Structure formats: C-alpha cells, structure tokens
C-alpha cells in the first residue's frame, strides 16, 4: 500500500524561543512572474522554499526562461522566453498562475492560461481582473476546453493596451495585481482606483519600480502606473510574510508561550496585534521583532473576543482560521454567553475546517449562511486524527495540535506545504513535539 505523509504533534507544550519569518508567499507568487518583464536577468532574495514557488519555477521554465533556485534565492533569465501558454497541470496547482496572463500579454500581445486552482474556500470569481485588462484595451475571456474539461483564460491585443482609469468594484488583491502587471506594458498612465492595499501589492510595486517601472501610490486606494518604461534586471529581496508572522504569533499565544518572532514587519501586524492585546496576550515589538508572552496561570486564561475579516489594514482573512483555533479555549467554559464570534467577510466558505476542530473537542457553531462562527470556550482540546481542508485551515490544525492534550495526526499536509516553509523544523526549534510521519494510504 502506498504511504502518505502526515504531521504528528504531541501537544500541550508552550512554544518558547526565537524564530525567523520567511519571505512572503503572496508577494513571491506575483514577483516571480513579473520578473519576466525585466527583459534581463533578475535575482530574487528571501523567497520561501514552498510548493507554490517551485510550481512557478516550472511555469517560468515552460515558457522558456532559465531559472535557478537555491538557498531561498532565485535567478531568473527571461531572455529566452518564447511561449505564451501555460499547461493546465501546472496552472491548476495554484491561484497565482493567472498572473502569467498580463505578463505574457505584455511580452507577446497574447496569452492562453488555464483557470487557476488554489484553496477551496468558496467562489473566487475573476470578473474584476477581466475588467481591468479589458479597460486597458486587451481582449480577454474565459473559454471552455470541453474535450479536456477545464476553462482557460484567452487574452489578446496586448500590443495595443493603453493606460486608463480602472475603478475596481472591490479592493481585490488579484485584480489589483493583474491590472498593475498589464498597465506596466500599456502606453501612458493607468490609475487603479479602489485598489487593494495589502503588503504584497506594495511589494510587487516596489519590485516593478526596481526593474524600471514607474508606479506610485501602492498601499493607498489609488495606484498610478506610467507604462512602457525601459525595464532592466535587478536584485530584489521579498518582504517578510505577514501571514506566517501572524500564524507564529497565534501559535505562541495559543500555547501560552514566550516567543520572539524575528525579521517581521510589526506595522503589517497591527490588526492582529490589537486583537491579541484584547484577548489578554502581551505583544511588544521593535523595528523588526515581535515578542509574544502569554501567561500560563489560570488567571492568564485568554479572553473571548470578536473578530471580523476585512481587506488590509483590517483583520486578514488568511489569519481567520489560525485565530479560530486559538479562540477554542479562550473565555469561560462554564459561561456559554461568553463566546467569541468570528465573522468572515471575504470568502463565502472558509469555516469548513471547524468540523475538524470540533473533532478535537472544540465547540463551534456556524451560522449566518456559513459566514459566522460562534466559538464556545472549552477547557481543552484533545488530540485525534484530523485533516487540513486548505492551506490556512492546515495552519489552524497545527495550532490546535500544539494546544491539545495527547497526539494529533493531520493529513493533507500538501496543503500546508503550499504556503509554509519548513513548518516542522520551525516549530521544533520552539520546543514543539512535531514530526512528519508516513502512514499507509488507507483513506
Ligand atoms: N472578488 C470578486 N471578483 C473578483 C475578485 C475578487 O468578486 O474579480 C471577491 C471574491 O469574493 C473573492 C474576494 O473578492 O473571494 C477576495 O478576492 P481577492 O482578489 O482579494 O483575493 P485573491 O487575489 O484571490 C489573495 C491571496 C489570498 C487572500 C486574498 C485576500 C494570493 C495568491 N492569494 O487572493 O491568499 O486570501 O488575496 O487577502 O495572493 C492564502 O494565502 O491562503 C490565500 C487564500
């Protein structure tokens, strides 16, 4: 029988020590395709060694780039790029594969890229992205490839793109990035209004400026892009990962630990920090370290809190699931009125993982059309067999496993490896009893 890898955690130990944050996944997956626009070799530093980055390396090689990736550094030579299509087997492994569309549109005037994959957390429409490209004058539509049972994005007329004002219906990260990447190759000025303000949007703009683009206003709702500048190679270091930082902060707090998170950007973490302080966790920071102290006495029990996900600088949806794990034991187990309420405003279906937490003894009810989790505090979680239902749900299960009494075994680790670098080694270095095991594939 085939073996599959699972995470095994013996919980109940507070995390203690110092840990460094990796480079941001969601920056990396935009900046790697963007490097093709440089026309000359680029070196990207501080890239996380995660599955999504490895898949993008394959995609870049497929379209003809030379790529080397070692020790978190990627060298990309785009001079041999000669294809404008991406195979479905690669595109469907991740969300960000569609960032190749505006890049190939700029290089060849055309692109054929299958609809992207990514986490199953509800509908993820791309209407705003299509609108952005079309406003600039490209033709773009989603076509069915009936014989192969998938849809692909077909984009044309990239050579005639002209800058314009693009007003997004909502500050979508994907639409902002896709429009920015197309605008770099469009003649004249593009203004993206109601743009996403996430740190990875700013990081992409900084990278594009480093290779010659002229972009101003990233991080505000209005981004201005003057297209068709002379582009060139550069060396660029990816920003620290906001979501990994937050996952580590929540894991430290949830295990009542004492952890220094090094190489972080405290400024990106303000929404989470405010909620942790409200829950009774001590959070301090200096320029690039965050210190989490959560006491272990009965009087230090975390308080119940309410959280609503929003676009940046609000509370990030990608930390909603790890936050729910931490809140399973926050508040009073004897007073059901004192529950935490977590409301998911970005995705329609990002609470599926709460069934897994309930298997560990949590008491979570989902209401509000699947958008609201009512978390009644329980005394403790108890380890059992659970699965990661998507990437950040996987992070939530790891936190739950670290909190729980006894042994937790988590399957579907490939979801976790899409976005977290060296998760086993990192948590082990903080004293966790966590290991990757192999078991018969009997599921
Ligand atoms: N939306 C639309 N139409 C669009 C685009 C978005 O209706 O054309 C709505 C949808 O409801 C969608 C929501 O807006 O579900 C958020 O979409 P957005 O475009 O902002 O998200 P994304 O670009 O698909 C990125 C991250 C996600 C993160 C979201 C929100 C990448 C590769 N992915 O997704 O990260 O949750 O922004 O911050 O950057 C993760 O890392 O686990 C992850 C899912």
Query: Each residue of 273-330: pLDDT tens digit?
Result: 999 999 999 999 998 999 999 988 877 889 999 999 999 999 999 999 999 999 999 9
Closest ligand 1 atom to residue 130 Cα is: 8
Q: How confident is residue 387, by pLDDT bands cut at 50, 70 and 90? A: very high
CB 317 near ligand 1, within 6 Å: yes
Closest ligand 1 atom to residue 127 Cα is: 8
Chain centroid offset of residue 307 CA: 19
CB 142 near ligand 1, within 6 Å: no
User: Which of 148-152, 226-230, 256-260, 335-339 is predicted with the least confidence, judged by mean pLDDT?
Assistant: 335-339
Q: Which is nearest to 400 in space by CA: 428, 380, 420?
A: 380
Residue 348 bridge partners (DSSP): none
CB 330 near ligand 1, within 6 Å: no
Please determine, for residue 334, whether its predicted confidence score (pLDDT) is greater than 90.
Answer: no
Q: How far is it, in rounded angstroms, from Cα 76 to Cα 56?
A: 11
Please determine, for residue 91, whether its predicted confidence score (pLDDT) is greater than 70.
Answer: yes
User: Which of 115-119, 190-194, 251-255, 275-279 is predicted with the least confidence, judged by mean pLDDT?
Assistant: 115-119
CB 390 near ligand 1, within 6 Å: no
> Tokens in use for 177?
């990035």
Q: 119 catalytic, yes or no?
A: yes
Q: Which is nearest to 33 in space by CA: 3, 5, 74, 72?
A: 74
Query: Each residue of 231-246: pLDDT tens digit?
Result: 999 999 999 999 999 9
Nearest CA to ligand 1 atom 35: 318
Max Cα-Cα span within the chain = 66
342 CA to centre of ligand 1 in angstroms: 19
Please determine, for residue 396, whether its predicted confidence score (pLDDT) is greater than 90.
Answer: yes
3-state secondary structure of 32: helix
pLDDT for res 443: 60
Closest ligand 1 atom to residue 94 Cα is: 32
Residue 292 bridge partners (DSSP): 259, 283
Q: How confident is residue 338, by pLDDT bands cut at 50, 70 and 90? A: confident
Q: How confident is residue 148, by pLDDT bands cut at 50, 70 and 90? A: confident
Query: Each residue of 415-427: pLDDT tens digit?
Result: 999 899 999 999 9
User: Which of 185-189, 212-216, 346-350, 430-434 is predicted with the least confidence, judged by mean pLDDT?
Assistant: 346-350
pLDDT for res 123: 76
Q: How far is it, in rounded angstroms, from Cα 343 to Cα 366?
A: 10
Please determine, for residue 165, whether its predicted confidence score (pLDDT) is greater than 70.
Answer: yes
Q: How far is it, in rounded angstroms, from Cα 272 to Cα 112?
A: 39
Average pLDDT value for residue range 208-226: 98
Global pTM reads 0.96
Please determine, for residue 109, whether its predicted confidence score (pLDDT) is greater than 70.
Answer: yes
Q: What share of the chain is helix, strand, coil (3-state, %, to 5)?
A: 35, 30, 35
CB 346 near ligand 1, within 6 Å: yes
pLDDT for res 1: 76
Q: Which is nearest to 180 in space by CA: 25, 29, 34?
A: 34
User: Which of 79-93, 106-120, 125-139, 170-184 is predicted with the least confidence, judged by mean pLDDT?
Assistant: 106-120
Q: How far is it, in rounded angstroms, from Cα 285 to Cα 266?
A: 7
Percent of the chain with pLDDT over 90: 89
pLDDT for res 281: 96
pLDDT for res 243: 98
DSSP code, position 264 = -
Q: Which is nearest to 185 in space by CA: 130, 230, 220, 155?
A: 230
Please determine, for residue 382, whether its predicted confidence score (pLDDT) is greater than 80.
Answer: yes
Query: Each residue of 25-54: pLDDT tens digit?
Result: 999 999 999 999 999 999 999 999 999 999
């Amino acid at each position: 029988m085939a073996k599959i890898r699972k995470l095994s955690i013996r919980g109940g130990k507070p995390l203690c020590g110092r840990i460094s944050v990796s480079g941001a996944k969601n920056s990396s997956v935009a900046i790697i395709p963007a490097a093709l626009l440089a026309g000359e070799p680029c070196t990207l530093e501080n890239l996380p060694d995660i599955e999504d980055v490895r898949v993008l390396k394959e995609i870049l090689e497929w379209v003809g780039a030379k790529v080397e990736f070692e020790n978190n550094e990627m060298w990309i030579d785009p001079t041999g790029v000669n294809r404008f299509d991406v195979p479905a087997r690669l595109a469907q492994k991740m969300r960000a594969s569609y960032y190749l569309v505006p890049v190939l549109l700029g290089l060849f005037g055309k692109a054929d890229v299958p609809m992207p994959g990514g986490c199953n957390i509800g509908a993820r429409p791309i209407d705003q992205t299509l609108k952005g490209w079309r406003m600039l004058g490209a033709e773009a539509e989603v076509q069915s490839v009936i014989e192969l049972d998938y849809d692909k994005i077909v984009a044309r007329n990239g050579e005639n793109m002209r800058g314009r004002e693009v007003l997004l219906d909502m500050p979508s990260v994907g639409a902002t990035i896709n429009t920015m990447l197309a605008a770099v190759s469009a003649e004249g000025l593009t203004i993206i209004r109601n743009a996403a303000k996430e740190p990875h949007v700013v990081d992409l703009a900084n990278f594009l400026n480093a290779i010659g683009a002229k972009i101003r206003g990233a991080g505000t709702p209005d981004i201005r892009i003057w297209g068709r500048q002379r582009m060139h190679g550069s060396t660029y270091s990816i920003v620290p990962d906001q979501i990994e930082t937050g996952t580590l902060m929540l894991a430290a707090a949830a295990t009542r630990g004492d952890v220094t998170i090094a190489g972080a950007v405290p400024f990106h973490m303000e929404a989470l920090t405010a909620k942790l302080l409200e829950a009774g966790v001590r959070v301090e920071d200096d320029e690039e370290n965050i210190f989490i102290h959560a006491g272990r006495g009965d009087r230090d029990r975390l308080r119940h809190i309410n959280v609503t996900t929003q676009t940046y600088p609000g509370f990030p949806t990608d930390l909603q699931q790890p936050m729910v794990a931490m809140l399973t034991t926050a508040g009073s187990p004897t007073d059901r009125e004192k529950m935490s309420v977590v409301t998911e405003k970005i995705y329609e279906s990002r609470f599926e993982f709460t069934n897994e937490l309930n298997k560990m003894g949590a008491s979570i009810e989902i209401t509000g059309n699947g958008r609201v989790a009512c978390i009644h505090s329980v005394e403790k979680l108890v380890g059992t067999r659970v699965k990661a239902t998507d990437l950040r749900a996987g992070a939530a299960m790891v936190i739950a496993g670290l909190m729980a009494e006894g042994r937790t075994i988590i399957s579907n680790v490939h979801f976790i490896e899409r976005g977290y670098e060296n998760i086993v080694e990192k948590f082990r270095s903080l004293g966790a009893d966590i290991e990757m095991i192999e078991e018969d594939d009997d599921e």
